[in-house]
Amino acid sequence: MQNLKEFERPQSLDEAVEKISAKPGRRLLAGGTGLSITDSKTTIGLVDLKSVGLDYIEDDSDAIKIGATAVMRALEESSLLQNYAGGLLADVAAEVGTTPLRNMITAGGNITQLRVWSDLPAPLLALDAEILVTDQEGETTYPAQKFFHRHPSQLLDDTDIVTEIQLPRGIENYSSSYTKFVAVDDSYAVTSVSVVLDMEGDTVKDVRIGVGSASPSPARCPEAEEELVDAELNESLAEKVGEICRANVNTTDNVWGSGDYKSKLIEKLVKKNLLQAKTS
């Protein structure tokens, strides 16, 4: 950022909206871990979100609310999240980067700067989360399916501020299972699979499967989910559903693995996580 000349630290969300909208060339700063590796000659000012009061994780009557500047370490240690849908998001946050990075990386930064390795988007898809965005016109709520349908930069303007992630009521008691498959410890995901499951006896009442890092945007497996609902979950069904999910996701090559390798991982990890969620 060789042309950086200004630094603003607003004390409220309203002030942040005003500062980011005041001049072209200003960018939002959250944890800084993504910006620090961005070579942007067009950035002339930073608007730091640290003091705007968005670092909360709250229990509200209609949703669990995660402020955009809550860091991964806070998600990992949150008893609210540890007790929501089998602790899926707390488990996911615990596997992001290393401890120093988890003290910096924010929830808002992680979903806005969607990279193929970003860990939060796929589980947020599986949880049917909603994402709140504020600009000068007011607040807009996006279902995760819409937010991650393409890269968020195609949905958001430079002056839009992601303010909150909301986790819906009604699935608190679902079980879950998550695997981040990595080549070496503390590294980026080659592929991740999140399963959120509601069972009655051996029968599946509701299920959501989120696949991350296998393709540029995170994916759900709708046909696999349909196959499971009202069926008895056993090893052979879990295997079949893994194959269906594999066919649902258009995997792409990257430095951590070929598309073909990721497809095989999806098949195996879906099966494994379904059976784990069933018994957890």
Ligand X SMILES: Cc1cc2nc3c(=O)[nH]c(=O)nc-3n(C[C@H](O)[C@H](O)[C@H](O)COP(=O)(O)OP(=O)(O)OC[C@H]3O[C@@H](n4cnc5c(N)ncnc54)[C@H](O)[C@@H]3O)c2cc1C
- Which residues would be at the binding site for ligand X (CB under 6 A)? 27-35, 37, 49, 68, 96-97, 101, 104-106, 108-110, 112-113, 115, 117-119, 161-162, 188
Residue closest to ligand X, measured at CB: 109
Minimal distance, residue 43 CB to ligand X, in Å = 9
Q: Which amino acid, one-letter code, is at 212?
A: G
CA dihedral 138, 40, 72, 186 (to 10 degrees): 150
Strands (E), 187-249: 189-200, 203-212, 219-220
Q: Which helix (H) or strand (E) holds 6?
A: strand 6-8
Measured from the CB atom, the residue of 95 and 267 that comes closer to ligand X is: 95
Minimal distance, residue 169 CB to ligand X, in Å = 24
CB neighbours of residue 38 within 10 Å: 11
Minimal distance, residue 28 CB to ligand X, in Å = 4
Measured from the CB atom, the residue of 122 and 197 that comes closer to ligand X is: 122
Measured from the CB atom, the residue of 96 and 241 that comes closer to ligand X is: 96
Minimal distance, residue 167 CB to ligand X, in Å = 17
Measured from the CB atom, the residue of 119 and 198 that comes closer to ligand X is: 119
Measured from the CB atom, the residue of 10 and 31 that comes closer to ligand X is: 31
Task: Report how far residue 124's alpha carbon sits from residue 93's, in angstroms, rounded to the nearest whole number.
Answer: 12
Cβ partners under 8 Å of residue 67, min gap 6: 53, 54, 55, 56, 57, 58, 107, 108, 163, 164
Q: Identify any residues that bridge with 194 across adjacent strands, giving them in sequence order.
A: 178, 210
Minimal distance, residue 229 CB to ligand X, in Å = 30
Q: Identify any residues that bridge with 132 across adjacent strands, giving them in sequence order.
A: 141, 164
